Homo-oligomer: A and B are copies of this chain.
Amino acid sequence: MNAAIDVLQSTHQHINRDRLWQSLMDLAKLGATVKGGVCRLALTDLDRQARDIFVRWCEEAGCTVSIDAVGNIFARRPGRNPNLPPVMTGSHIDTQPTGGKFDGCFGVLAGVEVLRTLNDLGVETEAPLEVVVWTNEEGSRFAPCMMGSGVFAEKFTLEETLTKVDAEGVTVGEALNAIGYAGPRKVSGHAVGAYFEAHIEQGPILEDERKTIGVVMGALGQKWFDLKLRGVEAHAGPTPMHLRKDALVGASVIVGAVNRAALGHQPHACGTVGCLQAYPGSRNVIPGEVRMTLDFRHLEPARLDSMIAEVREVIETTCEEHGLTFELTPTADFPPLYFDKGCVEAVRGAAQGLGLSHMDIVSGAGHDAIFLAELGPAGMSSCLAKAVSATTKSKTPHPMIWPPGVRCCCGRCWRRRMRLPAVNWRLEDQRIAGFGSAHRRVGAAEGCDLLLFTY
């Protein structure tokens, strides 16, 4: 390890920071919103335009581009040994309707910048390198999310996926054909030497801990439920308190229980009620029904189940006490995932070798890397990023971004997987100061929507 760090520190090179930035900004023009964000839904014509640019850039970088039947795009830079499975990197370029400039795109364009830098330096890698754009990671036009990587990893069948429809009844298959991205390549059965995904941080952990790099150990298991509570709808005036069956009073106890269960299972536990609606929703009618969602996450399956059991007990007690009935329906169940130890160690070692502050973190969200981890060794680096998204009124004209994740990937871990010499590309100008205060200012600003977090 020490030897590796010595080598890294003695031989670092720079990627072209301005070129990466320019690529991000060029892509962000497609679907740019008036407030500075991006709305580029999967398989729309804007997505087609973004895909066309990615393909052109990769071909200009000497890559061979192929497209599979679900629209995933693979840009391959040959290695010395064509028999080795490729080392892959990538992410997605579709966005949420109120998306930002960097989510997904950073992982893809960091990969493109690596291609270009390898070319600039005349480096030939042992294994081939593939930069991938996965189809419909966001899932906002077509469900489910992580669609392209899901079919690639055989979590979803191609046939069923192509029949999924958007709100207007257009199928994934029709949309792929319409934009010319239903490719001839078979989706699954592709050997993966390793997969790395660089992502800006979506959460506030790195910022809170003042670290630059998050070494992503794994991904939280997730169990989601729909909960419907039924009481008796009645007039808020003439119905005395002791005769009520108020579904919202019951629901409020359950919201508190979800929060307490998560607080009681730290670290890594998350518990969230994201949707809650009271029916009929009239200010002088006692709510007779509440529909809400429950989202539990943990890295340890047993503790995930404990959280759910605790909340379930509160649901039962509360319904008994308030005269309510309930229906609890599971809607999603993803087991916890640990990334490949070698890949995780590669990310950590690179951060150490580069002298970057870092910490182990766990991804709370879904990522294409989670599906890819089933096909080969996979890892993720998370980098401290604070870029102000779409709807903020921040006066910062130029979003700040620190992509040391690229450096990590191009540093030790890729070097190891790709039989690269110890090469290190460094980004200058890491403007970290003033960061917490910007967060607070933006977070409190009227009309601000989302800070563009990392993953």
Contact = CB atoms under 8 A, between A and B. Distances in A.
Interface of A: 201-205, 208, 220, 222, 224, 232-243, 245-246, 248-249, 251-253, 255-256, 259, 262-263, 266-267, 269-278, 281-287, 293, 295, 297, 325, 331, 363-366, 443-444, 449-451, 453-455
- Among A220, A241, A278, A444: residue with most chain B CB under 10 A: A241
A91 to B, nearest CB: 15
A326 B255 CA distance: 19
Given A255-B248, A443-B232, A278 B275 contact: yes
Contacts of A255: 248-249, 251-252
Contact of A259 (B232, B246, B283): B246
Assembly stoichiometry (copies): 2
B239 A203 contact: yes
B276 A284 contact: no
A274 B453 contact: no
Given A203-B240, A234-B203, A278 B269 contact: no
B272 A238 contact: no
15 contacts: A203-B243, A224-B283, A235-B364, A236-B274, A236-B364, A238-B363, A239-B364, A241-B262, A241-B270, A246-B272, A252-B256, A273-B287, A274-B282, A283-B293, A283-B331
A437 to B, nearest CB: 15
A243 to B, nearest CB: 5
> Which 8 pairs from chain A and chain B are nearest by CB?
A237-B364, A203-B238, A252-B255, A237-B365, A252-B252, A236-B272, A283-B293, A238-B364
A235 B202 contact: yes
Contacts of A266: 241-242
A233 B242 CA distance: 36
A202 B220 CA distance: 50
B204 A243 contact: yes
Given A249-B255, A284-B272, A295-B283, A220 B234 contact: no
A354 to B, nearest CB: 23
- Among A224, A248, A272, A282: residue with most chain B CB under 10 A: A272
A453 B241 CA distance: 15
Given A204-B234, A252-B255, 6 more contacts: A233-B449, A241-B270, A251-B255, A252-B256, A253-B256, A277-B277
B281 A275 contact: yes
Given A204-B234, A232-B443, A235-B364, A278 B283 contact: no
Nearest to A454: B238
A284 B274 contact: yes
Contacts of A237: 202-203, 220, 222, 270, 297, 363-366
Contacts of A325: 444
B293 A238 contact: no
- Among A297, A364, A454: residue with most chain B CB under 10 A: A364
Contacts of A454: 238
Nearest to A219: B237
